[in-house]
Amino acid sequence: MKFESYGFNQLTAELNRLDDVMNSHGLVRAEQWDYERVNYDRKFELQEGVFYLRVQGYSVEGDVGSQKAVIKLLVPLLGKHYYPHGLEYGEGEHFPASLIKQCEKTLAAVKAELDEFNGL
């Protein structure tokens, strides 16, 4: 499931600031990066299964390994985890309404904080 209405794909942010903002909302980069890309994930373990809210981005300036990069964000995704295959984001997936609402609340808070830093 894509969360296109939040305008994340129009945002850029400095990596260290982005790490702080994402962490404060439960989205963790951990080992989900290479020198050009980052993934921030928030795990949800529900009765219906394990789900991940994922915010991805790529470097438009600098590189992630040096901790000095400007990251352009992509449209956030919600996926269901299937062991051992990974995440499925497809149209045929069922996502509980309460989970969608919680993800929307998290994304709105992240967007507001990033907008504040960008002077929007």
For residues 32, 35, 36, 40, the Cα torsion angle rounded to the nearest 10 degrees is: 20
In tens, the pLDDT along 48-61 reads 999 999 999 999 99
Cβ of 20: how many Cβ atoms within 10 Å?
13
Write down the pTM of the prediction.
0.90
The dotted CATH code for 4-117 is: 3.30.310.100
Averaged pLDDT of the chain: 90
| pLDDT at 61 (0 to 100) | 95
Amino acid 32: pLDDT: 67
User: Tens of pLDDT along 59-97?
Assistant: 999 989 888 899 999 999 999 998 887 778 877 888 999
The residue ranges of every structural domain in the chain are 4-117
Helix, strand or coil for residue 4?
helix
Q: Is 94 left (phi over 0), alpha (psi -120 to 50) or beta?
A: beta
